[in-house]
Amino acid sequence: MNLRILVAGDHFILPRIFADAIRTEVKTVLEFREYQSPWPGVPFGRIGEVTEASGSEDEVIQALDGVSIYVANHAPLTKKVLEGAPDLKLAVIARGGPTNANVEAATRHGVLVCNAPGRNATATAEHAMSLILAVLRRIPESHAALAQGEWRGDYYEYDKCGLELENSTAGLIGYGAIGSRVARMLRGFGCQILVYDPYVKAETVGDLAQVVELNELLSRSRIVSLHARATPETRGMIGTKQVAAMPAGSVVINCARGTLVDYDAICDALDSGHLWGAGFDVFPEEPIPANSRLLKTPHLVMTPHIAGASRQTAEKAARIAAGEVRRFLDHEPLEHCVNPEAAIVKR
């Protein structure tokens, strides 16, 4: 009998993209089942006890009947799903963080869980750079005026002119796979780079950047770009006090998580003119409520949480997942297992 694998994709990472990557990597005869959740047409959210999930627990349980390996993007891996999938041995959540998986419950059930770190690092870094340039040079605003038949020659007035990256100081909060890429891109534009990351040492960044404390980064940086994870420690780390510490005419960019920033503080600083502009791809509530201040505040460039949305991200995530499937089948150490202790749990 062939080994059964459930490939649970969505409209970003299609089930066939997972299956094709696994077929390329694994030479064993496999039987694929497919499940497709409605994301991103329907926003992800909480399912059971997990977050950023999409789909139906009952449908996933039905699809997991007799399945040993589960490869998913946003489809849920909850206590209920695990209890309904007694044959499951490996779950690969092809995302940077497996927030849609109950890792503790999986460990109790003896199910190994892997993730796909760095899958969207390049796409997100490039998107952050796009927002930086769009904000500095007022690109969306001038485009919108032209589209309405208005020639905004006043953008050549000194007080309204855009800002250059060359010789500017940029501060990066977080220096992981994404932040380090943004640093290299900014250096290519001629920026001086400051980094705040409690887990990064000066020798890690070398000559590319200077590692400093957060207060110093804020006080010296014309551009501040966030690339930190959402944790209790980072919640609201950029608020009224931190924005006030930035030089007048600065820019804030957030392509990380909406919980990192007090958005009312940013709106206040934009309304007062203390900030030149801001660019956001993530928000405290998604989709943005119709009455949100963000929709009315000037000099704010926004995108709907699409920084990681590239075809290469989908394909890379599938390749990373396929590699874990092959290693599991070949009894090799898994590269991105988040609960290796599950291997010793007896069913």
Question: Do 139 and 282 reside in the same domain of the chain?
Answer: yes
Please check whether residues 269 and 215 belong to one and the same domain: yes
Sort 152 into a burial class: Cβ within 10 Å, 0-12 / 13-18 / 19+.
Answer: middle
pLDDT at 1: 47
> For residue 65, what are the contacts with CB-CB under 8 A and spacing of at least 6?
85, 87
Residues 243 and 137 in one domain: yes
pLDDT value of position 76: 98
Q: What is the pLDDT of residues 147-165, one digit of tens each?
A: 999 999 999 999 999 999 9
Q: What stretches in the chain show pLDDT beneath 70? A: 1-2, 346-347
Q: Are residues 101 and 235 in the same domain?
A: no
Number of separate domains in the chain? 2
Examine the domain organization and report whether 250 and 110 are in the same domain: no
Q: What is the pLDDT of residue 8?
A: 98
Asked whether residue 164 falls in the same domain as residue 283, the answer is yes
Are 105 and 167 within one domain? no
pLDDT of residue 182: 98
Alpha-carbon torsion (243, 244, 249, 250), positive or negative: negative
Six token digits for residue 18: 């997972």
Structure letter (DSSP) for residue 310:
-
36 and 63 Cβ atoms separated by less than 8 Å: no
Q: How far is CA 339 from CA 7, 11, 280, in A?
A: 21, 28, 33
Residues 95 and 127 in one domain: no
279/290 same-domain check: yes
| CATH assignment of the domain containing 185 | 3.40.50.720
pLDDT at 27: 87
- Considering the domain architecture, whether residues 126 and 198 belong to the same structural domain is answered as yes
pLDDT tens string 102-148? 999 999 999 999 999 999 999 999 999 999 999 999 999 999 999 99
**What is the set of active-site residues?**
257, 286, 305
What pLDDT does residue 347 have?
46
Q: Are 222 and 241 found together in one domain?
A: yes
**Same domain as 129, residue 231:** yes
Tell me the one-letter amino acid at 104: E
Strand pairing category for 250-254 and 275-280: parallel
What is the per-residue pLDDT for 345? 75
**Spatial distance between the Cα atoms of 188 and 166, rounded to a whole number of angstroms:** 9
Report d(CA 268, CA 265) in Å as an integer. Answer: 5
Tell me which residue range forms the domain holding 323.
3-119+310-344
